[in-house]
Copies of this chain bind each other. A is one copy, B any other.
Protein backbone atom coordinates (compact mmCIF):
# COMPACT_ATOMS: atom_id res chain seq x y z
CA UNK A 1 0.00 0.00 0.00
CA UNK A 2 1.57 3.28 -1.08
CA UNK A 3 -1.36 5.65 -1.17
CA UNK A 4 0.32 8.17 1.13
CA UNK A 5 3.19 8.62 -1.32
CA UNK A 6 0.72 8.96 -4.17
CA UNK A 7 -1.28 11.65 -2.37
CA UNK A 8 1.91 13.70 -2.01
CA UNK A 9 2.88 13.02 -5.62
CA UNK A 10 -0.48 13.77 -7.21
CA UNK A 11 -1.82 16.53 -4.86
CA UNK A 12 -5.41 15.49 -5.54
CA UNK A 13 -8.10 18.14 -5.54
CA UNK A 14 -10.58 17.35 -2.75
CA UNK A 15 -13.94 19.10 -2.93
CA UNK A 16 -15.37 19.64 0.57
CA UNK A 17 -18.89 20.71 1.44
CA UNK A 18 -18.41 20.78 5.16
CA UNK A 19 -19.51 22.51 8.32
CA UNK A 20 -18.63 26.05 9.37
CA UNK A 21 -16.71 24.88 12.45
CA UNK A 22 -14.01 22.93 10.65
CA UNK A 23 -13.46 24.55 7.24
CA UNK A 24 -10.13 26.11 8.19
CA UNK A 25 -8.77 23.06 10.02
CA UNK A 26 -9.86 20.78 7.18
CA UNK A 27 -8.18 22.92 4.54
CA UNK A 28 -4.99 23.19 6.58
CA UNK A 29 -4.95 19.47 7.28
CA UNK A 30 -5.35 18.60 3.61
CA UNK A 31 -2.64 21.09 2.62
CA UNK A 32 -0.29 19.71 5.28
CA UNK A 33 -0.91 16.17 4.02
CA UNK A 34 -0.14 17.22 0.45
CA UNK A 35 -3.63 17.36 -1.04
CA UNK A 36 -5.39 20.38 -2.52
CA UNK A 37 -8.61 21.45 -0.77
CA UNK A 38 -11.45 23.20 -2.58
CA UNK A 39 -14.40 24.46 -0.51
CA UNK A 40 -17.44 25.42 -2.60
CA UNK A 41 -21.15 25.11 -1.95
CA UNK A 42 -22.85 27.50 -4.39
CA UNK A 43 -25.46 25.62 -6.40
CA UNK A 44 -24.18 27.31 -9.54
CA UNK A 45 -20.75 25.68 -9.32
CA UNK A 46 -20.74 22.57 -7.14
CA UNK A 47 -21.36 20.27 -10.10
CA UNK A 48 -18.38 21.75 -11.95
CA UNK A 49 -16.14 21.56 -8.90
CA UNK A 50 -17.15 17.96 -8.11
CA UNK A 51 -16.49 16.91 -11.69
CA UNK A 52 -12.93 18.25 -11.73
CA UNK A 53 -12.04 16.85 -8.28
CA UNK A 54 -10.37 13.64 -7.21
CA UNK A 55 -12.92 13.14 -4.43
CA UNK A 56 -15.98 14.82 -2.97
CA UNK A 57 -16.41 14.98 0.82
CA UNK A 58 -19.84 15.76 2.28
CA UNK A 59 -20.15 16.66 5.98
CA UNK A 60 -23.44 17.54 7.67
CA UNK A 61 -21.99 19.10 10.82
CA UNK A 62 -23.87 22.38 10.40
CA UNK A 63 -26.29 21.47 7.66
CA UNK A 64 -29.10 23.64 6.33
CA UNK A 65 -31.44 23.52 3.36
CA UNK A 66 -29.01 25.31 1.10
CA UNK A 67 -26.06 23.05 1.80
CA UNK A 68 -28.13 19.87 1.60
CA UNK A 69 -29.08 20.84 -1.94
CA UNK A 70 -25.40 21.63 -2.62
CA UNK A 71 -24.48 18.14 -1.39
CA UNK A 72 -27.07 16.46 -3.60
CA UNK A 73 -25.89 18.37 -6.68
CA UNK A 74 -22.20 17.74 -5.95
CA UNK A 75 -22.73 14.09 -5.03
CA UNK A 76 -24.75 13.30 -8.12
CA UNK A 77 -22.26 15.08 -10.36
CA UNK A 78 -19.48 13.05 -8.74
CA UNK A 79 -21.44 9.83 -9.32
CA UNK A 80 -21.92 10.71 -12.98
CA UNK A 81 -18.24 11.40 -13.51
CA UNK A 82 -16.78 8.54 -11.50
CA UNK A 83 -15.50 10.69 -8.65
CA UNK A 84 -15.60 8.93 -5.26
CA UNK A 85 -17.88 10.46 -2.61
CA UNK A 86 -17.26 10.23 1.15
CA UNK A 87 -19.94 11.13 3.68
CA UNK A 88 -19.47 12.21 7.30
CA UNK A 89 -22.89 11.99 9.00
CA UNK A 90 -22.03 14.27 11.95
CA UNK A 91 -24.62 13.96 14.67
CA UNK A 92 -26.88 11.52 12.80
CA UNK A 93 -29.27 10.36 15.47
CA UNK A 94 -28.80 13.44 17.64
CA UNK A 95 -31.77 15.13 15.97
CA UNK A 96 -34.49 13.75 13.72
CA UNK A 97 -33.47 16.28 11.07
CA UNK A 98 -29.93 14.90 10.82
CA UNK A 99 -31.13 11.32 10.62
CA UNK A 100 -33.58 12.24 7.86
CA UNK A 101 -30.97 14.16 5.89
CA UNK A 102 -28.36 11.42 6.04
CA UNK A 103 -30.88 8.86 4.88
CA UNK A 104 -31.91 11.15 2.01
CA UNK A 105 -28.29 11.67 1.00
CA UNK A 106 -27.42 7.99 1.09
CA UNK A 107 -30.50 7.08 -0.95
CA UNK A 108 -29.69 9.58 -3.69
CA UNK A 109 -25.90 9.39 -3.82
CA UNK A 110 -23.76 6.27 -4.23
CA UNK A 111 -21.03 6.57 -1.62
CA UNK A 112 -17.50 5.27 -1.93
CA UNK A 113 -17.06 5.53 1.83
CA UNK A 114 -18.94 6.51 4.99
CA UNK A 115 -16.99 7.67 8.08
CA UNK A 116 -18.58 8.18 11.49
CA UNK A 117 -18.65 7.03 15.08
CA UNK A 118 -20.69 3.99 15.93
CA UNK A 119 -23.86 5.90 16.86
CA UNK A 120 -23.78 7.93 13.66
CA UNK A 121 -23.25 4.92 11.40
CA UNK A 122 -25.97 2.97 13.19
CA UNK A 123 -28.42 5.78 12.65
CA UNK A 124 -27.57 6.14 8.96
CA UNK A 125 -28.58 2.55 8.32
CA UNK A 126 -31.59 2.65 10.61
CA UNK A 127 -30.19 0.75 13.58
CA UNK A 128 -30.83 2.03 17.08
CA UNK A 129 -27.77 2.81 19.11
CA UNK A 130 -27.48 4.74 22.31
CA UNK A 131 -25.18 7.72 21.86
CA UNK A 132 -23.67 7.45 25.36
CA UNK A 133 -20.85 5.20 26.44
CA UNK A 134 -20.37 3.63 23.06
CA UNK A 135 -16.97 3.09 21.56
CA UNK A 136 -15.09 0.35 19.75
CA UNK A 137 -13.64 -0.80 23.07
CA UNK A 138 -16.95 -1.95 24.52
CA UNK A 139 -18.84 -4.49 22.50
CA UNK A 140 -16.29 -4.64 19.70
CA UNK A 141 -18.06 -7.57 18.13
CA UNK A 142 -21.17 -5.52 17.60
CA UNK A 143 -19.24 -2.70 15.99
CA UNK A 144 -17.71 -5.09 13.49
CA UNK A 145 -21.10 -6.55 12.67
CA UNK A 146 -22.52 -3.06 12.28
CA UNK A 147 -19.73 -2.01 9.93
CA UNK A 148 -20.24 -5.07 7.78
CA UNK A 149 -24.00 -4.69 7.69
CA UNK A 150 -23.80 -0.98 6.85
CA UNK A 151 -21.23 -1.66 4.12
CA UNK A 152 -23.49 -4.26 2.50
CA UNK A 153 -26.53 -2.04 2.76
CA UNK A 154 -24.84 1.06 1.32
CA UNK A 155 -22.53 -0.91 -1.03
CA UNK A 156 -19.52 1.10 0.09
CA UNK A 157 -16.62 1.08 2.49
CA UNK A 158 -17.72 1.88 6.03
CA UNK A 159 -15.31 3.36 8.57
CA UNK A 160 -16.39 3.35 12.22
CA UNK A 161 -13.93 5.26 14.34
CA UNK A 162 -13.54 4.90 18.08
CA UNK A 163 -10.96 3.51 20.48
CA UNK A 164 -10.24 1.08 17.69
CA UNK A 165 -11.33 1.76 14.14
CA UNK A 166 -13.28 -0.76 12.11
CA UNK A 167 -13.20 -0.56 8.30
CA UNK A 168 -15.24 -2.90 6.12
CA UNK A 169 -16.58 -3.19 2.61
CA UNK A 170 -18.91 -6.00 3.66
CA UNK A 171 -16.60 -8.75 2.45
CA UNK A 172 -13.34 -7.80 4.09
CA UNK A 173 -12.88 -6.07 7.41
CA UNK A 174 -9.88 -4.43 9.09
CA UNK A 175 -9.18 -3.17 12.60
CA UNK A 176 -6.85 -0.21 12.99
CA UNK A 177 -5.39 0.41 16.43
CA UNK A 178 -3.56 3.69 15.84
CA UNK A 179 -4.69 7.03 17.22
CA UNK A 180 -4.74 8.85 20.54
CA UNK A 181 -7.51 9.98 22.94
CA UNK A 182 -6.46 13.64 22.78
CA UNK A 183 -7.93 13.73 19.26
CA UNK A 184 -11.32 14.05 20.98
CA UNK A 185 -10.18 17.32 22.59
CA UNK A 186 -9.73 19.08 19.24
CA UNK A 187 -12.80 19.94 17.21
CA UNK A 188 -13.00 18.61 13.70
CA UNK A 189 -10.52 15.77 13.99
CA UNK A 190 -13.21 13.34 12.85
CA UNK A 191 -14.22 15.68 10.04
CA UNK A 192 -10.64 16.12 8.88
CA UNK A 193 -10.13 12.35 8.91
CA UNK A 194 -13.09 12.04 6.55
CA UNK A 195 -11.47 14.54 4.19
CA UNK A 196 -8.12 12.73 4.46
CA UNK A 197 -9.93 9.52 3.48
CA UNK A 198 -11.21 11.49 0.48
CA UNK A 199 -7.64 12.41 -0.49
CA UNK A 200 -6.53 8.78 -0.27
CA UNK A 201 -9.55 7.57 -2.29
CA UNK A 202 -8.67 10.12 -4.96
CA UNK A 203 -5.41 8.26 -5.67
CA UNK A 204 -6.74 4.74 -5.01
CA UNK A 205 -7.69 3.59 -8.52
CA UNK A 206 -10.89 2.23 -7.03
CA UNK A 207 -9.30 0.32 -4.14
CA UNK A 208 -11.49 2.15 -1.64
CA UNK A 209 -11.17 -0.36 1.19
CA UNK A 210 -7.36 -0.51 1.19
CA UNK A 211 -7.00 3.22 0.72
CA UNK A 212 -9.41 3.88 3.59
CA UNK A 213 -7.53 1.53 5.89
CA UNK A 214 -4.24 3.24 5.08
CA UNK A 215 -5.75 6.72 5.54
CA UNK A 216 -7.16 5.87 8.95
CA UNK A 217 -3.95 4.26 10.15
CA UNK A 218 -1.77 7.11 8.79
CA UNK A 219 -3.96 9.65 10.56
CA UNK A 220 -3.63 7.73 13.82
CA UNK A 221 0.14 7.52 13.48
CA UNK A 222 0.36 11.30 12.99
CA UNK A 223 -1.75 11.75 16.13
CA UNK A 224 0.40 9.37 18.17
CA UNK A 225 3.60 11.21 17.29
CA UNK A 226 2.04 14.62 17.88
CA UNK A 227 0.67 13.48 21.25
CA UNK A 228 4.07 12.19 22.29
CA UNK A 229 5.83 15.41 21.26
CA UNK A 230 3.32 17.59 23.13
CA UNK A 231 2.69 15.38 26.15
CA UNK A 232 1.34 17.39 29.13
CA UNK A 233 1.13 20.58 27.04
CA UNK A 234 -2.57 20.56 26.24
CA UNK A 235 -4.86 20.46 23.20
CA UNK A 236 -3.68 23.79 21.74
CA UNK A 237 -0.12 22.53 21.30
CA UNK A 238 -1.34 19.12 20.14
CA UNK A 239 -3.37 20.63 17.32
CA UNK A 240 -0.38 22.59 15.99
CA UNK A 241 1.91 19.58 16.14
CA UNK A 242 -0.71 17.34 14.57
CA UNK A 243 -0.79 19.59 11.49
CA UNK A 244 3.00 19.39 11.43
CA UNK A 245 2.92 15.59 11.55
CA UNK A 246 0.40 15.33 8.73
CA UNK A 247 3.18 16.88 6.64
CA UNK A 248 6.13 15.10 8.25
CA UNK A 249 5.08 11.45 8.60
CA UNK A 250 6.81 9.63 5.75
CA UNK A 251 5.73 6.29 4.21
CA UNK A 252 8.65 4.71 6.14
CA UNK A 253 7.52 6.08 9.51
CA UNK A 254 3.98 5.11 8.68
CA UNK A 255 4.94 1.53 7.81
CA UNK A 256 6.88 1.18 11.05
CA UNK A 257 4.10 2.43 13.32
CA UNK A 258 1.00 1.30 11.48
CA UNK A 259 -1.21 -1.14 13.39
CA UNK A 260 -3.58 -2.82 10.98
CA UNK A 261 -5.22 -6.19 11.56
CA UNK A 262 -7.18 -7.95 8.83
CA UNK A 263 -10.02 -10.09 10.14
CA UNK A 264 -10.26 -13.53 8.62
Contacts and interface: CB of A to CB of B under 8 A. Distances in A.
Given A24-B187, A28-B187, A64-B66, A243 B248 contact: no
A27 B61 CA distance: 12
Interface stretch (A34-42, A106-114, A134-142, A199-207): A34-42
A245 B234 CA distance: 7
Contacts of A94: 38, 49, 52
Contact of A65 (B42, B64, B247, B248): B42
B24 A39 contact: no
Interface residues of A, number: 55
Contacts of A241: 234, 236-237
Nearest to A248: B234
A244 B237 contact: yes
Interface string A18-44: 011111110110011000011111111
Contact of A236 (B40, B96, B184, B243): B243
Interface in A206-263: 233-237, 239-248
A236 B97 contact: no
B234 A187 contact: no
Interface string A40-63: 111111001100100000000111
Most B-side CB within 10 Å, residue of A27, A244, A248 = A244
Contacts of A40: 62, 91, 95
Stoichiometry (number of copies): 3
A186 interface: yes
A242 B184 CA distance: 18
A233 B41 CA distance: 33
A48 B234 contact: no
A115 interface: no
A32 B62 contact: no
A31 B64 contact: no
Contact of A45 (B49, B98, B184, B248): B98
A3 B25 CA distance: 31
6 contacts: A20-B20, A42-B62, A236-B243, A236-B244, A237-B244, A239-B243
Interface of A: 19-25, 27-28, 31-32, 37-45, 48-49, 52, 61-66, 91, 94-98, 184-188, 233-237, 239-248
List the 4 closest A-B pairs by CB distance, nearest first. A234-B244, A236-B243, A27-B187, A236-B240
Given A236-B243, A237-B240, 4 more contacts: A24-B187, A27-B188, A28-B239, A234-B246
